[in-house]
Amino acid sequence: MTLGERQGDEKNDSKYCGVETEFNDDMPQLLSLNIHGGFDFVVAPLMDPTYRPSLLVSSNGGSGVLPFAGSDLVLSPSQWSSHVVGKISSWLDLDSEDEMLRRDSEITLKQEIAWASHLSLQACLLPAPKGVTCANYARCVNQILQNLSNMQLWLRVPLEKSDDDDGNRSPNSMGEEHRDSWEMWNSFRTLGEHHSQLSVALDVLSSLPSVNSLARWFGEPVRAAIINSNSFLTNARGYPCLSKRHQNLLTECFNHSIQIVISGQQMQNFPTGTSVSNSHNSNNQSEGVEGMQRHPLRSYLDYIAYLYQKMDPLPEQERFELGYRDYLQSPLQPLMDNLEAQTYETFEKDTTKYIQYQRAVAKALVDRVPDEKASTITTVLMVVGAGRGPLVRASLQAAEETGRKLKVYAVEKNPNAIVTLHSLLKIEGWEKLVTIVSSDMRCWDAPEKADILVSELLGSFGDNELSPECLDGAQRFLKEDGISIPSSYTSFFQPVTASKLYNDIKSHKDLVHFETAYVVKFHRVARLTSPQPVFTFNHPEDSTRKSNHRYTKLRFEIPTDTGSALVHGFAGYFDSVLYKDVHLGIEPSTATPNMFSWFPIFFPLRTPMCVQPGIPLEVHIWRCCGTSKVWYEWGVTSPSSSPIHNCNGRSYWVGL
């Protein structure tokens, strides 16, 4: 059974809900009880919790039979792997001062994981580190991970952080007292080199840290949220429910494919014979097999299912983009390469974008030609980078809408798109209105000057597809008082936690991939501050400024109630002023709605940087221009210095 179905979200793991159990020798019975009770999987101890290797040696003289919960034969291989998460013994303390306990813990950890691996379990839950240090625990897990097949290890981390004195905590609190469990996690995974099979199971407690502090976790590899029955409240009708903040947290978990696990005991007797879920929905077939006792945690499960089902369905655009989530793409190089028909096809469908262009052109036409001269003056409009004609169409529609007379030049360097343009003219009957020019705008010898220059050369980071260089080249044939649409654009930077992206880049095992910017639909990402503007370009540019070289230094302050956070890199966006108040962009706070042409861009850091509360994050970005290419360099100087990334554009550049 699952928590429910959600349209377009069929692959979301979070529809499966698990339950944490006690050790039980009879694994088939344990599983049957819980599956029939409505859960999808159990998080069950694999080893008798009284086992200690040091006692075993002296007691049985080494018969070698370890006290596991049943042999591998008691369940089918698919039962083991689909329905059982191995819960590693919770007594383990690998950083104990007691050497005997430490060594027993090491041996047992290795034995249990080896057993789980033998059973082909998909995951094991590692107990939370006991003390303030976890170096030996991290080392053992790291050793194990080097030779582990596909199994995930979920490190249990209590979701706790004391907020009372974030501002003035000393930076060496690490090792002194762990008030922020994120720091323990960060140390653990850093010691383990960010291994991709090491993830987090958050223990959700009855009180929650601040919203900012919670938000960090959604950039981390959290696979499960374990919620104890004692974190539930009781509603007026006597059923379990959760506080509003807990509900929001669970919704975020569902949205991030984080599986819920219910743990603990039934806290009180709930009204019998019915369940809270009945009052909310009719998902009734799961009432349990006849004759079997109702699962003691069933009311909690029903409530979780209720929360799952009452979520809003995914918007259509989100559903369409599901497959792109957190998938790294190299940015287009439309100047150096010619776009393919498929690419034109996709982008031309973005009606929102062309509506904005039409509005901008319309406003420019009205500003340029007063009503009384509408019938006498013909405005010369050049679409530079016309592609297969969508901006030509938007411009002609703007002319019609405003009753202005228009003469259009459609300049396009891609000879394949020129074919389509010619055919478009015939079909639409635009032959007298539009002149097609097959040329690179940077070298076209225009027969007259334009009143309005229209282009769509922007990349996710604004200037990263070389709009400035192209428009500088086209400015020769714009009248002195002419208008460029867009008239300006600005790029933005925002520090993010993005461990999934970091691991994908790391998997290439080279420097080049860490010095490349990627177009990516962010999903499992934590945005740590508001974005800040980076570079702005204006068109037409007054001629005194010759260079498109840029340098900007930004200083980000992460809210102190966030706690420490790991910065894997920077999300990049743009916003563009098409004309006056008509803008277009993807900067989150002002993003144009329902536009899908651009995903954000991601600038990674070779070494993720941990930023502690109250300490600014200072980053430097350069836009460098050579004779045949343009590239970015970037680096951090606070809290500590990183290397400068992409020196001389050695890894990533855009060809002129």
Q: Catalytic site residues?
A: 456, 465
User: For its own copies, what does the binding mask look like between residues 455 and 494, x meaning CB under 8 A?
Assistant: ----------------------------------------
Among 633, 652, 653, 654, binds its own copies (CB under 8 A): 633
Q: Is residue 635 a contact residue for its own copies (CB under 8 A)?
A: yes
Question: Are 588 and 573 contacting, i.e. CB atoms less than 8 angstroms apart?
Answer: yes
Cα–Cα distance measured from residue 219 to residue 224, given in angstroms and rounded to the nearest whole number? 14
Binding region for its own copies (CB under 8 A) out of 185-193, 267-275, 346-354, 388-396: 185-193
Applying CB under 8 A, among 349, 508, 553, 580 the residue interacting with its own copies is: 553
Q: Which is nearer to its own copies, 135 or 366 (CB)?
A: 135
The answer to whether residue 397 forms part of the interface with its own copies (CB under 8 A) is: no
Measured CA to CA, the distance from residue 47 to residue 51 in angstroms comes to 7
Burial profile 413-431: b = 16 or more Cβ within 10 angstroms, e = fewer? bbeebbebbeebbeeeebe
DSSP 3-state of 250: helix
Is 308 marked within a binding site? no
Q: Alpha helices, DSSP H only, in 193-295? A: 211-216, 244-255, 276-280
Q: Among 192, 334, 495, 613, which residue sits at the site for its own copies (rule: CB under 8 A)?
A: 192
How many residues interact with its own copies (rule CB under 8 A)? 47
> Smallest gap, in angstroms, from Cβ of residue 556 to its own copies?
13
Are 461 and 601 contacting, i.e. CB atoms less than 8 angstroms apart?
Answer: yes
Binding range to its own copies, per CB under 8 A, among 77-85, 138-146, 475-483, 573-581? 138-146
Based on the shown chain and the rule CB under 8 A, indicate whether residue 647 belongs to the binding site for its own copies: yes
The answer to whether residue 628 forms part of the interface with its own copies (CB under 8 A) is no
d(CA 583, CA 421): 27
Among residues 143, 247, 333, 503, the one that binds its own copies under rule CB under 8 A = 143
Of these, 82, 190, 420, 439, which contacts its own copies (CB under 8 A)?
Answer: 190
By DSSP bridging, strand 518-519 and strand 478-485 are unpaired
551 binds its own copies (CB under 8 A): yes
By CB under 8 A, residue 532 contacts its own copies: no
DSSP per residue, 173-196 = GTTT--SBHHHHHHHHHHHTTT-T
144-173 residues in contact with its own copies (CB under 8 A) are 146-147, 171-172
Is residue 67 at the binding interface for its own copies, with CB under 8 A as the rule? no
Burial of 330 (0-12, 13-18, 19+ CB in 10 A): exposed
Among 24, 82, 142, 278, binds its own copies (CB under 8 A): 142
Asked if residue 405 binds its own copies (CB under 8 A), the reply is no
**Helix/strand/coil for 354:** helix
* 353 known member of a binding site: yes
Q: Which of 122, 622, 629, 656 binds its own copies (CB under 8 A)?
A: 622
| CB nearer to its own copies: pick between 264 and 559 | 559
Centroid of chain to Cα 502: 11
Piece of 159-167, 254-262, 545-553, 576-584 that binds its own copies (CB under 8 A) = 545-553
- What minimum distance in Å lies between the beta carbon of 211 and its own copies? 25
What does R_g of the chain's alpha carbons equal in angstroms?
30
- Which stretch, 115-123, 184-192, 214-222, 476-484, contacts its own copies (CB under 8 A)? 184-192
- What string of DSSP letters covers 520-562? -B--S-EE-S--EEEEEEESSPPTT-----EEEEEEE---GGG
Q: Is 344 annotated as a binding residue?
A: yes
Separation of alpha carbons 248 and 254, rounded Å? 10
Interatomic CA distance for residues 503 and 150, integer angstroms: 16
Interaction between residue 620 and its own copies (CB under 8 A) = yes
Q: How far is the CB of 465 from its own copies (least distance, A)?
A: 23
Q: Quick check: 224 and 258 in contact, CB under 8 A? A: yes
Smallest gap from Cβ 623 to its own copies, in A, equals 12
Cβ–Cβ under 8 Å, residues 452 and 361? yes
Shortest spacing between CB 636 and its own copies, in angstroms: 9
- Residue 441 is labelled as binding a ligand: yes
Three-class HEC string of 626-643:
CCCEEEEEEEEEECCCCC
Q: Are 83 and 259 contacting, i.e. CB atoms less than 8 angstroms apart?
A: no
- Pick 155 or 406: Cβ nearer its own copies: 155
CB nearer to its own copies: pick between 320 and 551: 551
> Least distance in Å: CB of 139 to its own copies?
5
Give the interface segment with its own copies, choosing from 84-92, 135-143, 158-166, 462-470 (CB under 8 A).
135-143
Among 428, 638, 651, 656, which residue interacts with its own copies (rule: CB under 8 A)? 638
Report the residue number, 296 or 616, with the smaller CB distance to its own copies: 616
Residue 53 beta carbon to its own copies: minimum distance, rounded to whole angstroms:
12
Residues 6+ apart with CB under 8 A from 309: 3, 4, 6, 280, 281, 283
Binding status of residue 616 toward its own copies by CB under 8 A: yes
In terms of Cβ atoms closer than 10 Å to its own Cβ (0-12, 13-18, 19+), residue 55 is exposed
Q: Does 135 interact with its own copies (rule: CB under 8 A)?
A: yes
Q: What is the DSSP letter of 613?
A: T
Residues present in the chain in total: 656
- Is 632 a known ligand-binding residue? no
- Taking each helix axis from N to C end, the angle separating 351-368 and 390-402, rounded to the nearest 10 degrees, works out to 50
Tell me how far, at minimum, the Cβ of 380 lies from its own copies, in Å.
35
Question: What minimum distance in Å lies between the beta carbon of 627 and its own copies?
Answer: 14
Report if residue 643 touches its own copies, rule: CB under 8 A: yes
Question: Closest distance between its own copies and the C-beta of residue 191, in Å?
Answer: 5
Rounded Cα–Cα distance for residues 92 and 566 (Å): 28
- Alpha helices in 326-389, H assignment, sequence order: 341-348, 351-368
φ and ψ at residue 521, rounded to 5 degrees: -85, 105
Q: What part of residues 555-614 is at the interface with its own copies (CB under 8 A)?
A: 607, 610, 612, 614
Is 639 a binder of its own copies (CB under 8 A)?
yes
Given the structure tokens 């500003």, which residue do they identify? Answer: 367
**533 contacts its own copies (rule: CB under 8 A):** no
By the criterion CB under 8 A, which residues form the site for its own copies?
A: 102-103, 133, 135-136, 138-139, 142-143, 146-147, 171-172, 174-175, 186-187, 190-193, 547, 549, 551, 553, 607, 610, 612, 614-616, 618, 620, 622, 633, 635, 637-644, 647-648, 650
